[in-house]
Amino acid sequence: MRKKKQLPFFEKVEIIDIGAEGKAIAKINDLIVFIPYVIPGDIVDIQINKKKKNFLEGYAVKFHEYSPDRQEAFCSHFGICGGCKWQILPYQEQLKFKQKQVVDNLERIGKIKLEEIGDILPSEKTTYYRNKLEYSFSNKRWLTNDEIDDEDNESKQMNALGFHIPKKFDKILNIEHCYLQKEPSNKIRLAVKQYALDNNLSFFDLRKQNGFLRNLIIRTSTTNELMVIVSFYYEDEKEREKLLNHLSENFDEISSLMYVINSKPNDSITDLDVKLFKGKDHFFEEMENLRFKIGPKSFYQTNSEQAYNLYKIVREFANLCGKENVYDLYTGTGTIANFIAKQSKKVIGIEYIEEAIEDAKINSTINNIDNTEFFAGDIKDILSQEFIDEKGKPDVIIIDPPRAGMHKNVIESILYAMPKKIVYVSCNPATQARDINLLLENYSVKKIQPVDMFPHTHHVENVALLELKTQG
């Protein structure tokens, strides 16, 4: 049997930058090395664990010197949980690297000459800013190194309620306190877990696909309404009702208490019947003078307060005067479409998720908006030349695609439609840069505005304004 080749080990290496996916960068013999959980200025010993042709990946095994910028992580789960990886980087430094990420992608991938770029818009809240979290139950709790080494610990209690360990699909980190969502999120999670342990309810086994308790979804709102959805693997009416009654009796704040039976291999509930146990089957979010109905399956930007700031930038870039025909592509639940409707002549929203389009229509009705029209289906199929000719060419197109960006057919349809302005919202500046590059023959990039939606992560939102070049 061939002996496995020993991967390199490097001593006293300085971390010099932060790159793709938020990992820090060192340079060894002209090779880029990506390392998590370190920041520029740290000097560390690095164990390489992945060797590629053009780069290496590794992890820090010893710190010789800490960066002067480094700060203490505030969460006890830092370094194990997959979220909030930038806690050790001061917030102003996080913003600096996010801004740099946007500029680098647009200039390097998009070959875009940037005329005007605003300073990244910080999030007012850097903790407790999310309005939705999903926790998973597991009978395969992730053990820390300390727990493994401690023979006297309570590791025999293997049930957990928390988050998936990165790259370990069946392991769940038991969460004591999460800084992402305001209370009573933590209190509800801990109460459900304690009740389950006290009453010997079985936690889900993802490999064997059995166990009673599967997921816990908590949604909060700026209107102080609260939705809780408990996902069970199978129906046991007696035990289900006892658990839900326990929640109802102990948390008056819950305005929507719901449940779902999910016996599928995956955790998604979008194709399942979510049932109401107590309260209402929805709540409302508010933005300016608009109300948005949120159901158990509805999509809504997870940082509500910063979403409002993002949409104001979109509206400012579109600069509508009430005479424009606007297309809102990847409209989701029609939040942007409804937000700009009163400044438009007509807004057409397209989205591939049918339930989201139904929400968009409801939100127009709730807000007495009668100049929107929504279509469900794959945008590359719906946004044809025939569709554009029938509905009228748009003056403005707003785009907010998923991380993968736009399909080339959608870009071709946009070039056929030839709107005067395109406002491109993206959660992935790399694919945004690629897409914009394909529009540059006919459009100029006039403004760029990065927005931080997710503090303590590498993720950054970016809004770009493109204007049609004068023909002739």
Positions of E strands within 295-345:
325-329
- Compute the distance between CA of residue 167 and CA of residue 316 in angstroms, rounded to an integer: 41
Q: Give pLDDT < 50 ranges for the chain.
A: none
* Residue 93 C-beta-side C-alpha neighbours within 13 Å: 16
User: Helix H segments across 52-131?
Assistant: 91-108
Q: What is the largest CA-CA distance in the chain?
A: 80
For position 84, what pLDDT does the model report?
Answer: 94
Domain 93-125+303-468, CATH = 3.40.50.150
CATH 3.40.50.150 occupies which residues in the chain?
93-125+303-468
Q: Give the fold, CATH level 3, of 132-287.
A: OB fold (Dihydrolipoamide Acetyltransferase, E2P) (2.40.50)
- Which 3 state secondary structure label does DSSP give 427? coil
3-state secondary structure of 347: strand
Instruction: Dump pLDDT digits (tens) for 341-360.
Output: 999 999 999 999 888 999 99
Q: Could you check whether the bond before residue 8 is cis, i.e. omega within 30 degrees of 0? A: no
Measuring CA to CA, how many Å separate 403 from each of 349, 389, 425, 431?
A: 19, 29, 11, 7
Beta bridge partners of 33: 26, 56
Distance CA(42)–CA(262), nearest Å, equals 46
CA distance 341 to 332: 15
Return the half-sphere exposure (C-beta side, CA atoms, 13 A cut-off) of residue 267: 20
pLDDT, one tens digit per residue, over 36-85 is 999 999 999 999 999 988 899 999 999 999 999 999 999 999 989 989 99
Distance CA(224)–CA(221), nearest Å, equals: 5
Q: Are 49 and 58 in contact (CB under 8 A)?
A: yes
Q: If you count DSSP H runs as helices and E runs as strands, how many of each does the chain have, helices first?
A: 11, 22
Answer yes or no: are the C-beta atoms of 121 and 450 closer than 8 Å.
yes
3-state secondary structure of 361: helix
Residues 415, 151: Cα–Cα separation, whole Å? 66
CB atoms within 10 A of CB 340: 22
Q: Active-site residues: which are they?
A: 427
User: Structure tokens of 155?
Assistant: 């590791």
Directed axis angle between helix 185-198 and helix 237-250, to 10°? 140
Domain with CATH 2.40.50.1070 in the chain: 132-287
Domain with CATH 2.40.50.140 in the chain: 9-70
> Which CATH number among 3.20.20.140, 1.20.120.530, 1.25.10.10, 2.40.50.140 corresponds to the domain 9-70?
2.40.50.140
Torsion 69-75-78-81 (CA) sign: negative
Alpha-carbon distance 169 to 164, whole Å?
7
CA distances from 77 to 81, 157, 246, 314 (A): 6, 19, 28, 36
How many CB atoms are closer than 10 A to CB 31? 14
Rounded Cα distance between 445 and 327, Å, is 19
Q: What is the pLDDT of residue 448?
A: 97
Stated as kind and residue range, the H or E segment containing 305 is helix 304-318
Task: Annotate 326-350 with DSSP letters as a single string.
Answer: EEEET-TTTHHHHHHGGGSSEEEEE
- Rounded to the nearest angstrom, the gap between the alpha carbon of residue 109 and the centroid of all alpha carbons in its chain is 23
